């Protein structure tokens, strides 16, 4: 009887030890999971910026190179500021201008509309095009490839004002038509309202 009682006691003790051990393992696993969750919450996830000015500029020029334009790329400057694109320069014709603008508008991260105020489908002459006589770019404009720009140049990130003669290279683009000047003709004079009034008799008898 004593042996059976002793064996039963040992068995019960063994079962108790195992139960305590399992409970301890379970608690430890829960603690580890909570610690991992806390670490994951505290660790910020950095998302790379895929729309930097330089990345947008590079993407546009890669597309322009693949487009096979007849116009040299050094006649086209792409300026990007927070997704807003400004084109400066000129191409040979209106068809190529439409191609360039379409490429820019369909490039990722570009915001519409694209600024084309200084982008022409003909050779505009100064200030966008360097002076053929040899005076280079005008005051406040910078030499950029085969054109002049008023701001950052893609080909030279830190441009300097063009103060030395740098004649423009030959271009196959047709010169732009001169801007018509306002007419100097004076508007016709309106007849004096008093001219056609009948004169009254000087005196009546």
Looking at the structure, tell me whether residues 62 and 119 fall in a common domain. Answer: yes
Number of domains in the chain: 2
> CA-to-CA distance for 33 and 95, rounded, in angstroms?
63
Task: Examine the pLDDT at 50 and tell me if it is beyond 60.
Answer: yes
Q: 204 or 120: whose pLDDT is higher? A: 120
79 contacts 152 by C-beta, under 8 angstroms: yes
**Residues composing the chain:** 205
**20 to 6, 17, 25, 61, 99: CA distances (angstroms):** 21, 5, 9, 69, 76
Q: Is residue 184 part of a domain?
A: no
Looking at the structure, tell me whether residues 91 and 128 fall in a common domain. Answer: yes
Looking at the structure, tell me whether residues 142 and 119 fall in a common domain. Answer: yes
Q: Is residue 30 part of a domain?
A: yes
Looking at the structure, tell me whether residues 77 and 122 fall in a common domain. Answer: yes
Looking at the structure, tell me whether residues 57 and 143 fall in a common domain. Answer: yes
Provide the residue range defining the domain that includes 59: 53-149
Task: Assign residue 117 the CATH number of its domain.
Answer: 3.30.1340.30
> CA-to-CA distance for 76 and 120, rounded, in angstroms?
10
**199 token code pair:** 């004169």
Task: Examine the pLDDT at 40 and tell me if it is beyond 60.
Answer: no
Burial of 61 (0-12, 13-18, 19+ CB in 10 A): middle
Burial of 149 (0-12, 13-18, 19+ CB in 10 A): buried
> CA-to-CA distance for 147 and 141, rounded, in angstroms?
10
**21 token code pair:** 């051990």
Q: Tens digits of per-residue pLDDT, 143-201?
A: 888 898 887 787 666 555 554 445 556 677 888 888 666 555 555 565 555 555 555 55
Looking at the chain, the whole-number percentage of residues with pLDDT higher than 90 is 34
Q: Is residue 179 part of a domain?
A: no
pLDDT at site 63:
95
Handedness of CA 104, 110, 114, 119 (dihedral sign): negative
Q: Tens digits of per-residue pLDDT, 80-89?
A: 999 999 999 9
Q: Is residue 202 part of a domain?
A: no
**193 token code pair:** 């309202």
pLDDT at site 84:
96
Domain end residue (candidates: 149, 169, 194) = 149
pLDDT at site 150:
85
Output the average pLDDT for the chain: 75
pLDDT at site 205:
47
pLDDT at site 139:
80
Looking at the structure, tell me whether residues 17 and 101 fall in a common domain. Answer: no
Q: Which residues contact 123 (CB under 8 A, 6 or more apart)?
A: 90, 129, 171, 173, 174, 175, 176
Indicate the SS3 state at residue 138: coil
Pairing of strands 84-90, 111-120: parallel
Looking at the structure, tell me whether residues 83 and 127 fall in a common domain. Answer: yes
Gyration radius of the chain over CA positions: 40
Looking at the structure, tell me whether residues 95 and 130 fall in a common domain. Answer: yes
Please name the residue ranges forming H helices in 43-142: 53-67, 94-105
Domain end residue (candidates: 149, 164, 194) = 149
């Amino acid at each position: 009887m004593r042996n059976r009682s002793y064996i039963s006691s040992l068995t019960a003790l063994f079962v108790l030890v195992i139960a305590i051990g399992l409970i301890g393992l379970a608690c430890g696993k829960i603690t580890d999971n909570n610690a991992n969750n806390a670490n994951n919450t505290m660790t910020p996830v950095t998302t790379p910026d895929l729309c930097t000015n330089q990345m947008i500029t590079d993407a546009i020029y890669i597309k322009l190179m693949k487009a096979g334009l007849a116009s040299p790329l050094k006649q086209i400057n792409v300026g990007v500021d927070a997704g807003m694109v400004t084109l400066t320069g000129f191409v040979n014709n209106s068809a190529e201008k439409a191609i360039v603008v379409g490429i820019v508008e369909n490039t990722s991260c570009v915001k519409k509309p694209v600024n084309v105020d200084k982008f022409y489908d003909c050779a505009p002459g100064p200030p966008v095009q360097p002076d053929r006589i040899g005076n280079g770019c005008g005051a406040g404009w910078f030499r950029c490839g085969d054109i002049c720009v008023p701001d950052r140049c893609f080909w030279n990130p830190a441009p300097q004002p063009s103060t030395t003669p740098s004649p423009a290279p030959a271009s196959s683009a047709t010169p732009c038509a001169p801007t018509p000047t306002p007419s100097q003709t004076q508007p016709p004079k309106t007849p004096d309202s008093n001219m056609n009034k009948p004169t009254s008799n000087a005196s009546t008898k």
